């Protein structure tokens, strides 16, 4: 599909999720929204939902096995509150969720600085996948990423909100949205995997899908992302998907090389995840183990109804994973060429379609450099001198060593 074509609205569905308290097994009905306000749940928010549900389940199981007085009621109340908080839109990254066996002392003890035992990955992404957004934010500025982990994200700018709204518009051109209530981590992951299954089917039948969730392992680390757009070129001997990412710009100027480099890394992450997903069997045992999931847990009525409505009769998360494996065998690897599209926010006009080749060596070098920070092998680096123009837009400049006023370290 060319950039000037009008997409065909598909019968596939993109699902937004609502979260119930852990004990609520009702779930409610699935409705195709009319004038109901839609709530877009990002990968970051989904990860926080998963973590909160896992935490709640652990607390409830501990309470059941040890007796009614073994677990303070306040712990359950605080966990339920955290789930309800996940129901709303987030403006900042939540503090790390401590799993059973972890202690606050691990975080408070900062004498040794960054170490592998107290890495950002273990402190802030425990039982959560690293997102592609985490990777690109780290590539942009590791020190800024460190400050975000410590202090939370600054409030989103008007330009950032406009970019998000544009992505919602693009998705709704080819998808109908439904709201579905999830009550367990298994429900949440089942919905995410089903959205991949039906998005990829939409690609095969319609030649286009958008906002496709993807998950996989990159250099030993679980990673998730959402691919803006995938196109299946027509009238070509070899049918290979083209991965596309759309960026919106609030000024009528083309992006800098640093911005394009960041976009290249993002799309190469998506290509790596896509190609590995379709080329290899999904590592289901590692998936269940890492995220603390029960593959045989019965999915909620809402989730089962949603899957049946889309042609998959899944009772458990394992059923969904089996469907995922069968579906992936039908998918081809993506093209070596990738596309970044730049639009002007004011009038939606196309500024540039930047096409480039996947570079495996470059990608691996960038990813390993990023993971060295996340795994605690080294401290966060500062931006290079020729890219310190980025600091003018950073909300943490006043506490950054670059400003010459102070220094700050991860605990």
Q: Give yes or no for a contact between 278 and 369, defined as CB atoms under 8 angstroms apart.
A: no
Low-confidence stretches of the chain (pLDDT beneath 50): 1-6, 8-12, 19-45, 48, 51, 54-55, 58-115, 405-411
The two structure tokens encoding residue 207: 């030649």
pLDDT of residue 377: 94
Question: For residue 185, is it within any domain?
Answer: yes
Question: For residue 117, is it within any domain?
Answer: no
pLDDT of residue 98: 28
Question: For residue 351, is it within any domain?
Answer: yes
Question: For residue 286, is it within any domain?
Answer: yes
Question: For residue 218, is it within any domain?
Answer: yes
136-194 pLDDT per residue, tens: 999 999 999 999 999 988 777 777 777 777 767 776 777 677 788 899 999 999 999 99
Report phi then psi at 312, rounded to 5.
Answer: -115, 120
332-375 pLDDT per residue, tens: 999 999 999 999 998 989 999 999 999 999 999 999 999 999 99
Q: How many domains are there within the chain?
A: 1
Question: For residue 164, is it within any domain?
Answer: yes
Question: For residue 160, is it within any domain?
Answer: yes
Domain carrying residue 384: 13-88+124-403
DSSP string, 244-300: EEEEEESSSSPPPHHHHHHHHHHHHHHHHHHHHHHHS---HHHHHHHHT--TTSBPP
Question: For residue 115, is it within any domain?
Answer: no
Q: Give yes or no for a contact between 89 and 39, defined as CB atoms under 8 angstroms apart.
A: yes
Q: What percent of the chain has pLDDT over 90?
A: 55
The two structure tokens encoding residue 78: 């605080």
Tell me, yes or no, if the pTM score tops 0.75. Answer: no
């Amino acid at each position: 599909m060319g950039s000037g074509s009008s997409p065909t609205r598909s019968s596939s569905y993109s699902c937004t999720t609502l979260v119930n308290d852990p004990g609520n097994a009702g779930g409610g009905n699935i409705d195709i929204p009319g004038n109901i306000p839609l709530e877009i749940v990002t990968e970051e928010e989904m990860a926080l939902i998963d973590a909160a549900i896992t935490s709640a389940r652990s607390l409830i199981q501990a309470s059941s096995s040890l007796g009614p007085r073994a677990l303070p009621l306040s712990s359950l109340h605080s966990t339920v509150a955290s789930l309800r908080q996940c129901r709303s839109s987030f403006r900042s990254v939540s503090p790390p969720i401590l799993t059973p066996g972890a202690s606050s002392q691990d975080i408070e003890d900062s004498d040794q600085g960054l170490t592998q035992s107290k890495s950002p990955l273990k402190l802030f992404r425990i039982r959560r996948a690293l997102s592609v957004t985490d990777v690109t934010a780290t590539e942009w500025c590791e020190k800024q990423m460190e400050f975000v982990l410590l202090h939370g994200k600054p409030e989103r700018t008007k330009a950032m909100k406009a970019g998000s709204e544009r992505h919602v518009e693009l998705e709704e051109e080819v998808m109908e949205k439904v709201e579905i209530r999830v009550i367990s981590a298994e429900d949440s992951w089942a919905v995410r995997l089903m959205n991949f299954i039906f998005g990829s089917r939409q690609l095969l039948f319609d030649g286009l899908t958008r906002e496709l969730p993807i998950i996989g392992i990159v250099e030993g680390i679980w990673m998730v992302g959402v691919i803006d757009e995938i196109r299946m070129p027509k009238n070509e001997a070899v049918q290979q998907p083209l991965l596309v990412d759309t960026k919106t710009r609030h000024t009528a100027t083309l992006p800098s090389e640093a911005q394009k480099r960041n976009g290249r890394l993002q799309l190469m992450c998506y290509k790596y995840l896509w190609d590995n997903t379709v080329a290899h069997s999904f590592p289901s045992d590692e998936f269940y183990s890492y995220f603390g999931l029960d593959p045989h847990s019965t999915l909620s009525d809402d989730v089962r109804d949603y899957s049946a409505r889309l042609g998959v009769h899944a009772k458990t998360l394992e059923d969904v994973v089996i469907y995922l494996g069968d579906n992936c065998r039908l998918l081809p690897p993506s093209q070596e060429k990738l596309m970044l599209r730049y639009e002007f926010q004011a009038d939606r006009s196309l500024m540039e379609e930047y096409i480039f080749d996947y570079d495996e060596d470059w990608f691996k070098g960038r990813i390993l450099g990023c993971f060295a920070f996340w795994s605690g092998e080294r401290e966060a680096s500062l931006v290079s001198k020729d890219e310190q123009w980025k600091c003018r837009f950073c909300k943490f400049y006043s506490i950054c060593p670059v400003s010459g006023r102070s220094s700050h370290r991860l605990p």
